[in-house]
Amino acid sequence: MATTEECRTALDKLSDNLAQADGDVRGAAALDRSLSCHIKDLDITFTGRLDDGRIAVADTFPGPPREKAEIRLAMTGDDLVAMVNGELNFAKAWASGRVRLEAGFRDLLRLRTLL
């Protein structure tokens, strides 16, 4: 099972990957939205912002999200690490229910490019 530190490192790596992307991926990630990522098996939530293609984690706390972020993710720590390392396809994980993504309709349309 991935640790809190490994999950935080994976989010930092995801942020770096998004910041270095170009084309449609860069455009899809160029949002300014609040973000939460609930790691179900560790029962912790990372909160922060997706801002101009970077994820800035502001806080980590126990339990599910306390407030409703504009973009909400939920998954296991192992799935987060595997996705960021390219070992798990996000679209397949999302379609199978391993990863949950919730956002407003317009944001989902923009984020579909990342899938």
Q: Each residue of 61-95: pLDDT tens digit?
A: 999 999 999 999 999 999 999 999 999 998 899 89
Token reading at 47: 């909160």
Q: 92 by DSSP, 3-state: which?
A: helix
Q: Which amino acid is at 46?
A: F
* Per-residue pLDDT tens digits for 1-50: 999 999 999 999 988 887 777 666 666 667 889 999 999 999 999 999 98
* Distance between CA atoms of residues 64 and 61, nearest Å: 8
Query: What global pTM score does this model have?
Result: 0.89
CATH number of the domain at 4-114, please? 3.30.1050.10
Q: Residue 1's closest CA among 30, 43, 45?
A: 43
